[in-house]
Structure 1
Amino acid sequence: MTAIQFIERDGRAEFAIVPIEIWNRVAPLIEDLDDEALFDQAKAADDGFHVPAVVLDAELAGVHPIRAWREYRNLTQDALSEASGISKPYLSQIESGKRNGTFKKLAAIAKALSVPVDILAQQ
């Protein structure tokens, strides 16, 4: 059976009922189209910034995001404190979780690490 039935409303076709054999052949094609649309949306929304796996792994292991990025960028605490204009003890306290750091300080660190500030703040 390959006949397709149409259900009309107000004289216009509104629904199509297809035999299961046809549906089974069409369903994967529809799924592929959905996947392509999702990919296109993700690509259009991509701002070019990506978190490297090594940084993500470190954060998942409990390392503070600032330390994870600092180590990824091969910076010492001395180098990052100098680049961001923040004292080394203050930076150390932020990385160890003893202080949260003000937005201004986090913004300075983010600029020195070349990352968006929102990814440095711990939840």
Structure 2
Amino acid sequence: MAEDEYKMLLHAAEAAEDAEDVADVKRINERLARGEEELIPADIVNRILDGESKVKVWREYRKLTLRELAAKVDISPAYLSQIEGGSRDGTFETMKKIAAALGITVDELA
């Protein structure tokens, strides 16, 4: 293969990859506009990665007090505090309710 042909193929491949990237960004922006996706600030992600309670981090990110979230989920603040503190595991049903109240999936709390 001649060097010119190689450069032309390489350029075509790069252009195709760029077009894919543009299409991906457009899809993500559309999902953001529809409320199907959410951008999470790095400090929130870092707190989770550092091992903080996912329930607590998400609750604080959503600007809910412990009592407010407990009321939304219909559990006691003490039980929610134990879940956040790691001294008790929430049942799957409780974790589903917490996730729903926080507007996230159960997987995001796992």
Identity, % of aligned positions: 32
Letter in 2 for 1:24: K
What is the root-mean-square deviation of aligned Cα atoms in Å?
2.4
Structure 1 residue 51: Cα displacement: 4.7
TM-score where L is the length of structure 2: 0.76
Report the TM-score when normalising by structure 1. Answer: 0.69
> AA paired with 2:38?
H
**Residue ranges of structure 2 left out of the alignment (5+ in a row):** none
What displacement does 1:33 show?
A: 0.8
1:48 is aligned to 36
**Letter of the 2:20 counterpart:** A
| Shift >6 Å, 4+ stretches | none
In the alignment, structure 1 segments of 5+ residues that lack a partner are 1-17
Instruction: Supply the AA of the counterpart residue of 1:104.
Output: E
Structure ranking higher in strand proportion: 1
Residues 71-82 of structure 1: matches in 2 within 5 Å? 71-82=60-71
Alignment length, in residue pairs? 103
- For residue 25 of structure 1, report the CA deviation from its aligned partner: 3.5
Distance in 1 between residues matched to 2:58 and 2:17, nearest whole Å: 35
**For residues 48 and 32 of structure 1, what CA distance do their matches in structure 2 show?**
29
As a proportion of its length, which structure holds more helix? 2
Aligned-partner residue type, residue 78 of structure 1:
R
Deviations 1:62-87 (A, max 9, x none): 21211111011111111111111111
